[in-house]
Amino acid sequence: MAHFADTFRTAGTIAGLEWRLEWRQGHQLAAVGLFAIASVYVAFQASDQRTGPAAWTAMLWLVHLFSGFTAIGRLFDRERSDIRRYLQWTADPLGLMLGKLFHALLTTTALTAVVLGAFILFLGWPQGLDSPGKPGLLVLGAWLGGLSMTTTLVFVSAVASQVKAGSGALGAVLGLPLLLPQLILASRLTRGALNDQPWSMLVEYPLFLGALGAGTSAIACILFPYIWRA
């Protein structure tokens, strides 16, 4: 029990440190938010006034995907410097991974709110719908889809951080194929919520997204200590 308490204490310390560093370097947070809002505005300028559910969903997840890469893709950049040697001696690797995951999940929650808010502000609700759909399920799907993709991006970033050269390209090569299942499930859930499909046809998508996120987090926590010591 004492070991688990130390692990969670380390995770809380790492998550708090990440937030303090992000807050002090406010330009990084501002850059992610500006990228997301600018992407939505470009989608608004490129679309017409009759954006349907299919196009709305596709634009939403394209913006969400690349905003997630921008926010999470450099999560382990500091661990490629001399800080890595210090952390290897002082920090529990499981606590380090949990702290990174906590920080990334909070960042993704905020990013989801920004992206959805920008979409509703600029693009409004999709046109051609007979009913308002299921807004609550839409928000839940956007959040779960973002969290599921985030866990994959954190794990991929941890693996890519072990490569001194070309880690950014390696992260993209590893990440995009692994993100396809989450993107497919999240897109189907979003479109079903907009089209007001019955709950019985949609309930499996949140369950699968949650399972993928939890499974990826578990794999990351199991494998990261071995990667970290390599």
Domain definitions of the chain by residue range: 2-229
Q: How far apart are CA 63 and CA 190, in angstroms?
A: 14
Give the model's pLDDT for residue 145.
92
Whole-structure pTM value: 0.85
Per-residue pLDDT of the chain (230 residues; tens, 9 = 90+): 556 677 778 788 878 877 887 777 666 777 778 888 888 888 888 776 667 888 888 889 988 888 888 888 777 776 666 666 767 677 788 888 888 899 888 888 988 999 999 988 888 777 656 666 788 888 999 999 999 999 988 888 888 777 655 455 666 677 778 888 899 999 999 998 888 888 888 889 999 999 999 999 999 888 888 887 76
